[in-house]
Amino acid sequence: MQGYKKLLLTASLVAFLIPVVGQNTDSPYSRYGYGVLNNQSIGVSRAMGGITYGVRGLDANPGNPASYTSTDSLTFIYDMGVSYVKSRFTEGNNTQTDNNGGLDYIAMQFRVAKKLGMSFGVLPFSSVGYQFGTQETTNNLSTTRTFTGSGNFSQVYLGLAYEPIKNLSVGGNVSFLFGNTKYTRNISITSIPSANTEYALNKLTMNSLKFDLGAQYILPLNAKDHLVLGAVFSPKVSRTGKIERIKNDINSSGTVISGDTTQFTGSDAHADLPSTYGLGFTWNHDRRLTVGADVTYQNWSNVRYSEHMDDGMNKDDRFNNVWRFNTGIEYTIDPRDRAFIKRVKFRGGLNYSNSYVNVQNDLGEISGYKEYGATLGVGLPIRDVVYSGRTSYININFEYRSLNPNKTNLIREQYFGISVGVCINELWFMKNKLR
């Protein structure tokens, strides 16, 4: 067992040395704001439509820090996931597909005292990854514009939860948000081979603290049923980052003939995060059936974002307030049975939200998009009978997501993803007795 623990700790340290959680988007919509935002659900919650606020006692759940007290005093939970994503983009009769993936998250959870639980880990916050271009011809001059973007923001979190009274748990996370995003633009006159190319790069670097507060109340209904009510609040973060802008003129041989580099900090580099309010519940029946739902509101209308990022938007039309709805279910035939199939966990869910960013089409119209998603998953049990009798799981999740723009002449995006997570539930804190 000691070697097993050392292996897990080594894997965790290696993962934390990775500078970012793997970039996992090719969406052209990641050009705007902080890119594509990642849902904070992991493992079990991800397969259940992304619900987190009322989820308790299933696995690690950083989506509501109050859930950390659900781990008993002898248990250590280690959860790690990776994903593969295939994206399909449709614009008129044109279709393009891309592949992506990488490390998703790492989370650990355990008790530190009788009524005190702890969790820490690394989670994705947002991702940027796109490449597209346009061609224009005016007065016999053909111009090609190419746009590319890359980078992401990740968060390392530490959370505590406390049970002040029976059936009530409160908790909080403090997260260090870090990373950078790069946006480039190349403009070249293709009808004149000797013409210079204009190159521009805008890079946003951000380091910030983010806070999340949560509460859960367990309401017993009868001997086999109970209801978990959950709530989460994240206050607005008013921060500034650092913006680096580079503009170069490059001749036909690839030599920079003139250039300019400018840096913006302070009030010229606002990088706020919105306040978030969330409510949710789960109903649990006899450890076999869990059904739940979440509703989330994010106030993006008061978020400041630097105009020096040159995204073509202004403060009045860049962001939208977000409503997100998630619902999910988990079913096990009989978690107490020795038969493998009866202990497999079957999961599914649905979700919907509007976009936090607006985009602009070829006609100059500015609007957002709607996002619809569906998930399916299974939890395959791995029982360590010899050492502890605890049950660990390999969680396999399938996800479909569709981004439908509100205006015409915009790209429709479909996302097909598979993620695999290993949630190890181990008996780490039992003291050996001398005989």
For the cut 60, the answer to whether the pLDDT of residue 384 exceeds it is no
Q: What are phi and psi of 206, to 5 degrees?
A: -140, 135
In the three-class reduction of DSSP (H, G, I as helix; E, B as strand; rest coil), residue 301 is classed as: coil
Helix (H) or strand (E) holding 46: helix 43-47
User: What pLDDT is attached to residue 390?
Assistant: 63
Question: Which of these, 238, 243, 324, lies nearest to 274 by C-alpha position?
Answer: 238
Average pLDDT over residues 280-308: 94
The angle formed by the CA atoms of residues 255, 258 and 261, to the nearest 5 degrees, is 115
433 lies in a domain? no
Per DSSP, what are the bridge partners of residue 75?
427
For the cut 50, the answer to whether the pLDDT of residue 386 exceeds it is no
Which of 51-60, 183-192, 337-346 bottoms out in mean pLDDT, i.e. has the lowest? 183-192
Q: What is the pTM of this model?
A: 0.89
For the cut 60, the answer to whether the pLDDT of residue 281 exceeds it is yes
User: What pLDDT is attached to residue 336?
Assistant: 81
How would residue 2 be classed by pLDDT, with cut points 50, 70 and 90?
very low
For the cut 80, the answer to whether the pLDDT of residue 130 exceeds it is yes
Average pLDDT over residues 298-307: 92
* Residues whose CB falls within 8 Å of the CB of residue 402, separated by 6 or more in sequence, listed in order: 371, 372, 373, 412, 413, 414, 415
How would residue 8 be classed by pLDDT, with cut points 50, 70 and 90?
low
User: What pLDDT is attached to residue 430?
Assistant: 53
CATH code of the domain containing 105? 2.40.160.60
User: What pLDDT is attached to residue 356?
Assistant: 95
- Number of structural domains (the chain) is 1
Q: What are phi and psi of 185, to 5 degrees?
A: -140, 130
Tokens of 6: 């050392």
435 lies in a domain? no
Most confident of 108-117, 192-201, 230-239, 355-364: 230-239
How would residue 362 be classed by pLDDT, with cut points 50, 70 and 90?
confident
Most confident of 73-87, 341-355, 380-394: 341-355
Average pLDDT over residues 69-77: 84
Q: Is 430 or 398 the better-scoring residue by pLDDT?
A: 398
| Averaged pLDDT of the chain | 86
For the cut 70, the answer to whether the pLDDT of residue 104 exceeds it is yes
In terms of Cβ atoms closer than 10 Å to its own Cβ (0-12, 13-18, 19+), residue 340 is exposed
For the cut 80, the answer to whether the pLDDT of residue 364 exceeds it is no
The angle formed by the CA atoms of residues 206, 207 and 209, to the nearest 5 degrees, is 130
342 lies in a domain? yes
Range of the domain at 363: 2-427
User: What pLDDT is attached to residue 260?
Assistant: 87
432 lies in a domain? no
207 lies in a domain? yes
Tokens 């049990």 found at: 381
Q: Is 426 or 308 the better-scoring residue by pLDDT?
A: 308
348 lies in a domain? yes
For the cut 50, the answer to whether the pLDDT of residue 20 exceeds it is no
Question: Which of these, 388, 395, 296, lies nearest to 58 by C-alpha position?
Answer: 395
pLDDT for 135-170, tens place per residue? 777 777 778 888 899 999 999 999 999 999 999 999
